[in-house]
Amino acid sequence: MSRPASANADTTVRLPGGWRSENGYTIKRSNERAVISPALNANGTGRTAWVSGVVSGTAPKGVDAELEVGYIVGCQVDISGLAGSLGGELTLDSSALSAGLSIPLKVGEVKYSRVTDIDLVDGRASIRYASQGLEITGCGGYAQARSVTKIETGEGAHRYVGWLYGRPFSLG
């Protein structure tokens, strides 16, 4: 009697919180985690991460600012232009079979995926996000992601842009 094949389970990655404070602006991140799901077709070129966390920001009173959270995703090799060919020839004298695979190897890309943003009210804002999907397709080799939280003011005398980066994690 044969056993059914085992499924590749999701992997949960718990990530450390962090904070940054500068010139009256503060950014905090906590309860961040990622659940990594392998591709259903098991070919290794696609994966999904379900990310969750809490970010908050403060700004000096009277300053209009926006809090944004997203993820930087990088891939070792982009194989989205993968092309294959198969050909053959059969004659009375001989037969030949040929096959080819074209992989346009180029430096892997790094992209930013915004989860959401919110305006600070009375100098404060908080974003709680849960199970936001990051889908990676056409990626051969290693893939990695990390959270990015940004607080930004408009133009003027109080112009400010601050960044808080999370710990990178593997997408497989």
* Cα–Cα dist 151/56, whole Å: 9
pLDDT value of residue 101? 42
pLDDT of residue 135: 82
Cβ partners under 8 Å of residue 80, min gap 6: 137, 138
pLDDT of residue 69: 96
More confident residue, 113 or 94: 113
45-49, 97-101, 144-148: range with highest mean pLDDT: 144-148
- Nearest partner of 171 among 76, 68, 69, 61, judged by Cα: 76
Q: First and final CA of the chain: distance in angstroms?
A: 33
How do the domains of the chain map onto residue ranges? Answer: 11-170
Q: What is the mean pLDDT of the chain?
A: 80
Please determine, looking at this structure, whether the domain spanning 11-170 carries the CATH number 3.40.50.300. Answer: no
Lowest model confidence (mean pLDDT) among 38-47, 89-98, 99-108, 134-143: 99-108
Of residues 94 and 58, which shows the higher confidence score?
Answer: 58
Q: Which residues 6+ apart lie within 8 Å of 2 measured at CB?
A: none
For 40, the 3-state DSSP assignment is coil
Question: What separation in angstroms does the CA of 104 have from each of 79, 84, 144?
Answer: 7, 11, 21
- For the chain, give the percent of residues with pLDDT over 90: 47
Q: Is pTM, for the whole model, over 0.75? A: yes
User: What are the tens digits of pLDDT across the range 64-108?
Assistant: 999 999 999 888 776 665 444 444 455 555 444 444 443 333 456
